[in-house]
A = this chain, B = another copy of it.
Amino acid sequence: MNTFLGTAVETVRTNNPLVHHITNYVTVNDCANLTLAIGGSPIMADEVLEVMEITGMSQALVLNMGTLNERTVNSMLLAGQTANEKGIPIIFDPVGAGASDFRNETARSIINMLNCAVIRGNISEIRFLAGITSSTKGVDASANDTSSIEEAQLIADQLATAHKCIVVITGAVDVISDGRRNILVHNGCAEMSRITGTGCMLTSLIASFCGSFPDQLFYAATTAVLAMGIAGELAFEQTTGTGSFRVALIDEISRIDQQTLTQRGNYVEK
């Protein structure tokens, strides 16, 4: 992991991966800016008539369920099929899974009909996908779903094994699993849940790294989690409210480098 960290950011900045997003209209601007900040190139397109073409020219595809509608569900499935055919990694963010039948069915369709490279969610969303009773409260993790780190690891492992993918559960401690290996990330700060879109932005960040390292998804996803957590810590030191915190978070991602990552990265490989 440490070796990987040493060159990952620089590679993304050189590689400039095009990341196709089919995402929500709440945090889309932040996702675009974060993708640019890390060195990727975002393109947002959700019209069924063009998504296959756009995915086909991209290095990664983000499917984010934040503000789904029937039209965009079709676009997600079509774009996802193209991605699978061409070996382009799909990064899936099941925002609000568990909160409505419509979201539940969409989330199930996506994980069953497509091969996702990475699934990233909070503990409530991932519990739902893993078939464990959860009590999603809107789009935020439910307090009732607080599980021990051991439990989160177990759920991540299960889902990762079942779908042959990387699973990222974000929370006080972040868990990354490929079904066999686990990494726990201790970076980040509580303030990050007081601004909208930190989860979505992380998903976009994961996509930029995975687009540049399609053969090292586990480390790519972990690097994104570390970068986001460290940026959150650095941003928090500079701000006195949630508005400026969001601005500083994007600032920090735009200037993060390997040195910061290796020095501040606080993780355990298992």
For the complex formed, measure the closest distance between the CB of A89 and the CB atoms of chain B, giving whole angstroms: 17
Which residues, 9 to 42 on A, are CB-close (under 8 Å) to B?
Answer: 18, 24-30, 32-33, 36-37, 41-42
Residue contact A195 to B18, C-beta cutoff 8 Å:
no
Q: Residue A6 at the B interface, CB < 8 A?
A: no
Q: Which residues of B contact A138 (CB under 8 A)?
A: 18, 41-43, 54, 57-58
Which has the most chain B C-beta neighbours within 10 Å: A25, A42, A253? A25
Q: Residue A171 at the B interface, CB < 8 A?
A: no
Residue contact A241 to B246, C-beta cutoff 8 Å:
no
Q: Residue A86 at the B interface, CB < 8 A?
A: no
Q: Residue A101 at the B interface, CB < 8 A?
A: yes
A206 to B26: give the CA distance in the assembly, Å. Answer: 19
Q: Which residues of B contact A45 (CB under 8 A)?
A: 67-68, 96, 100
Residue contact B194 to A54, C-beta cutoff 8 Å:
no
Q: Residue A172 at the B interface, CB < 8 A?
A: no
Chain B residue with the shortest CB-CB distance to A252: B241
A194 to B103: give the CA distance in the assembly, Å. Answer: 33
Residue contact B53 to A101, C-beta cutoff 8 Å:
yes
A244 to B255: give the CA distance in the assembly, Å. Answer: 12
A103 to B244: give the CA distance in the assembly, Å. Answer: 35
Q: Residue A183 at the B interface, CB < 8 A?
A: no
Q: Which residues of B contact A46 (CB under 8 A)?
A: 67, 69
Residue contact A32 to B26, C-beta cutoff 8 Å:
yes
Which has the most chain B C-beta neighbours within 10 Å: A33, A37, A58? A33
Q: Residue A268 at the B interface, CB < 8 A?
A: no
Chain B residue with the shortest CB-CB distance to A56: B100
Q: If the complex has contacts A44-B67, A49-B70, are A196 and B242 also in contact, measured as CB distance less than 8 A?
A: no
Q: Residue A131 at the B interface, CB < 8 A?
A: no
Q: If the complex has contacts A25-B28, A46-B69, are A249 and B243 also in contact, measured as CB distance less than 8 A?
A: yes
Which residues, 168 to 203 on A, are CB-close (under 8 Å) to B?
Answer: 194-197
Q: If the complex has contacts A33-B195, A36-B195, A246-B33, are A66 and B50 also in contact, measured as CB distance less than 8 A?
A: no
Q: Residue A145 at the B interface, CB < 8 A?
A: no
Which has the most chain B C-beta neighbours within 10 Å: A102, A137, A196? A196
8 additional contacts, CB 8 Å, given A33-B195, A53-B99, A243-B247?
A45-B68, A47-B67, A47-B70, A50-B68, A50-B100, A194-B254, A241-B248, A243-B250
The 9 lowest CB-CB distance pairs between A and B, nearest first, are A241-B251, A243-B250, A43-B138, A50-B100, A32-B196, A50-B102, A242-B254, A243-B247, A243-B251
